[in-house]
Amino acid sequence: MPRLLAVHAHPDDETLTMGATLARCAAEGIAVTLVTATLGEQGEVIGAELAGLAADEADQLGGYRYTELAAACRALGITDHRMLGGVGAFRDSGMAGTPSADHPRAFVRARTGGPDHARAVAALVAVIDEVRPDVLLTYDADGGYGHPDHIAAHEVAVAAAAGRVPRVLAAVKPRAELARLVAGMTVPAGYAAPRDGDLGFLVDDAEIGATVELGPGAPARRAALAAHATQVELLPGGFALSNRIAQPDPSAEWFRVVTGDALPGIVSGGPDVLFAGAG
């Protein structure tokens, strides 16, 4: 049985970047383990009812998002979910330059050279040694859009995978395809259309190594997005985060090789393409 490990920074990242892929893997008998580094304590909150959970109010958002993550995992069919180092070991750092990055448990401290890097890597190595994944999925070196916790997750994942995981892939989006999807999107009233720089994870189309078709994973992805209701609002044919910028649903989910075994050319299809030629 192929084995997949996904490493993410916050609840909802797993669904936004690769939800359909994880759902298809789980449904097709691929062993899926999801590791999340933080509870997403610094996230903004959609809707007035739960706004008081935010970090600068009751600071209870992390616990609430943990329940959202559990619901999203059920929607995706993921039964093996871990918090890196245990629940609460690391805290959401917030965006670059914000005071929350100075918190003593901020995950940004797990970046390469940071005081918590070795501890975070050791925690992930323990998971890798237990589940022995064939492929690890995470972010690219820039974290997709520069979030400090995404970059830390990439650096921890790459360090932990070295010599242990045959292939590390990053979730990315082909620039030309996203432009096509955005151009064909109907933006509901009250929402803004994305502009250059609003959508992260973009790479030139030639950098895509593996394309996983949404297929039967699309409904599970939408259900998992709905589970992350404090962070994501579903729109017809797309979704929006708290910034109310409409984004189109993807036409597929895309990955590029970060380290390890190369892919045998550009491959497209079901989740099995992630494992082509690995090991």
- 82-91 burial: b if 16+ Cβ within 10 Å, else e: bbbbeeebbb
Cα torsion 179, 11, 92, 212: sign: negative
Task: Answer yes or no: is 10 a known binding residue.
Answer: yes
Query: Token pair of 57, please?
Result: 């109010």
Beta bridge partners of 167: 135, 260
Task: Answer yes or no: is 13 a known binding residue.
Answer: yes
**What is the residue type of 107?**
F
Q: How far is CA 186 from CA 26, 116, 173, 245, 249, in A?
A: 32, 44, 20, 12, 12
Task: Answer yes or no: is 147 a known binding residue.
Answer: no
Cα torsion 147, 159, 20, 76: sign: negative
Cα 102 to the center of its chain, rounded Å: 23
The C-alpha atoms of residue 271 and residue 212 are separated, in whole angstroms, by 6
* Positions at the binding site: 10, 13, 150
Give the residue ranges of the annotated binding site for Zn(2+): 10, 13, 150
